[in-house]
Structure 1
Amino acid sequence: MASQTLSRTKPALAVAVLAALLIGLASALAGGDVTSDTRLSQQRDSRETRSDEQQAEDWGLLAEDWVRYRQLQQGPLGVYSPNLDPLTALGIEARNDEERQRFAELQVRAESARVSKELAYQRAYDQAWKRLYPTLQIVTLTAAANSSPTRLQGNGRLALFIEDNCMACNLQVKKLQAAGRDFDLYMVGSDNDDARLRQWAQRVALDPRSVRERRVTLNHDGGRWGSLGVAGDLPALVREVDGQWQRQ
C-alpha cells in the first residue's frame, strides 16, 4: 500500500519540479530581456550625450552652453529663427556683457576660420574651371546685380538695406535666412564693387543656393536707399505697401 502511494507521488513531484524549472527559466529570460533593453537604452543615451558634447566642442562651447542653446531653441527664438547657429543664438540671448563678449569673440574666430577655408576652396574652384573649361566664362558661387534703375521698384518682396562691417546687418541677414524668407539685399556704400559684395556674402555665410535660385538677390544700392525716404539707421528691412515703403 505504501509502495503504491509512493508510486503515485513520484510523477506528481516530477511535474511540480518541472513546472518550477520552467517558471524559473521564463523569469530569467524575462529578466534578461529587461536587462538587455535597459542596456540598449543606456547605450543610446550615452551616444546622444557624446553627440551633444561633440557638437558643443565643434563650436568651441561648454557643455552648459549647449544645454542653454537647446533650451533657447525650444522657446520664442526657436520659433522666430529655428535654424540660427548656436553662437549667434547665445550671443543674442546673452545674460550679461561678459557672456555677450565671449560669444562674439568665439563667433569672430569661427567665421574667420570658415572664410579662410571658403576662400581657399574658391581659389581651387577657379583654377579647376580655368583648367577644364579655359574658353568659357567662369561661374562663381555668388552673384551680384551690377546695374538697375536708381529708383527702387516694389515687387511685393522684402528689401533689406545693409552696409559693410555692420554686425546688426549681419544678424538681420542670418535671421531672414533662418526663417527661410526671400528678399532682395542692397549694400549701401559698396561703390559698385562686385568683389566686395561677394566677400561680404561669404563672411555672413549667405546661402549660395538661395542666391543661385534668386530667392535672395545681391545688389549694389546705387542711391536707392536715399530715394525711399524711410527714416532710421541700417539695417532697414522694408516693403512697399500702397505705394509707400515701410519698415517691417
Structure 2
Amino acid sequence: MALHLPVSAQQTPQQAANIQPTRTSQSQITHSQDARLARDWGLRDDEFARYRELMEGPIGVYSPNLDPLSALGIEARSDEERQRYAELQVQVEARRVEKLLAYQRAYDEAWLRLNPGMQRVNLPDDKPGAATNTSPLRSSGRTAVFVKDGCVACGQLVQRLQSSGAEFDLYMVGSRQDDTRIRYWAKRANIDPARVRSGSITLNHDGGRWLSLGLPGDLPAVVHEVQGQWQRQP
C-alpha cells in the first residue's frame, strides 16, 4: 500500500537542501547574558559594556574577580559617576544582606527542628563546645573579632588575644555556614579547645554581621560596643 505524505512533507531534494537549521551565534548569546547581568546590577547596557572593557585592562589583571559596581566606581570618570555607583552598591549590598539573614533564620529554624540539642561546630578534638550563634550582633560587654580564611594577620591577632586571656566572640566572614571550615581554621590558629568549651571564646558564622556594622577597613577587625555604637578598635 502506498504511503501518502501531507503536502507540507512532500519536498523535492532542492527544497530540502534549502532548509537551514536556526542557529544562535555566540555573540547573540553573550549579548543576551550581558543584558541580563546589567539588569541584575542595576546598570545600563553601555555601562556593563564599559565594565567588560575595563576588566580587559590593568584593573582586571590586579583584581580579576572585581564586581561591576566596584570596577566602574574605581574607574569613574566624574564625581557624579562615582556617587551613582557607590549608591547602587549600597543598595545591592543591603538586598544581599537582607536575603542572607532571611536564609540564616530559616537555616537556624531547620537546624533546631532537625537536630535539637546538637552543637553545630566542634573543635578538632571532637568535643562539643563551640556553639554557632547566628543571631544579630548584640552587646555582651565582650570583644567581637571578625576574621576570614586565608588571612595570616587574622590568626596572629586571635593568638595575641588568646594569650592575653581576653574573652571574645569570633565571627568568620565568608564561612558559607560550613562548620568544617571554622573547625579547621580554629585548629590552624591554635585556639584552645578548653577555652571554647568554657565559653570564654566562641566560634560563630558571620551571617552578614560584618557588613551590617558598616565599619571601615579590612579584616581582621576587633570591635566593641561603646554607648550603643559598635566601634572598631585601633
Partner of 2:41: 59
Taking the aligned partners of 2:113 and 2:37, their CA distance within structure 1 comes to: 38
1:192 offset after TM fit, Å?
6.5
**Residue 40 in structure 1 maps to residue 15 in structure 2:** no
Equivalence map 1:50-129=2 (5 Å): 50-129=32-111
Are 1:194 and 2:169 an aligned pair? yes
Q: Which structure has greater helix proportion? A: 1
Which secondary structure state, in structure 2, belongs to the residue aligned with residue 194 of structure 1? strand
Q: Where do 5+ consecutive residues of structure 1 fail to align?
A: 1-23, 143-162, 165-172, 221-232, 238-248
CA contact (8 A) 1:91 1:99 kept: yes
Amino acid at match of 1:111: E
What is the TM-score with the length of structure 2 in the denominator?
Answer: 0.50
Distance 1:236 1:194, change over 3 A: closer
| Seq. identity, % | 43
Paired residue secondary structure (2:152): strand
CA distance in 2, matches of 1:51, 1:100: 25
- Give the count of matched residue pairs: 152
Highest CA radius of gyration, 1 or 2?
Answer: 1
3-state SS of 1:40 partner: coil
Residue 182 of structure 1 and its aligned partner are, at CA, apart by: 3.0
Structure 2: gaps of 5 or more residues: 1-12, 122-131, 135-144, 159-165, 192-200, 202-215, 221-234
SS of corresponding position for 2:23: helix
Task: Specify the alignment match of 1:155 in structure 2.
Answer: none
Note the alpha carbon deviations across 1:80-131, whole angstroms, 9 max, x for none.
Answer: 1111111111111112211111111111000001001111111111111111
Asked if residue 130 in structure 1 is aligned to residue 112 in structure 2, the reply is yes
Q: 2:111 and 2:219 mapped to 1: Cα distance?
A: 37
Q: Where do 1:1-248 residues align within 5 Å?
A: 25=14, 29=17, 32=18, 36=20, 40-42=23-25, 44-139=26-121, 140=132, 182-184=150-152, 186=154, 194=169, 197=171, 201=173, 206=174, 208=176, 212=182, 214=185
* Equivalent-residue separation in structure 2 for 1:84 and 1:111 (angstroms): 14
* Residue 192 to residue 235, structure 1, CA distance change in 2 (3 Å): farther
Q: 1:96 to 1:45 in 2, by over 3 A?
A: same
Asked if the contact 1:130–1:138 (Cα under 8 Å) also holds between the matched residues in 2, the reply is no
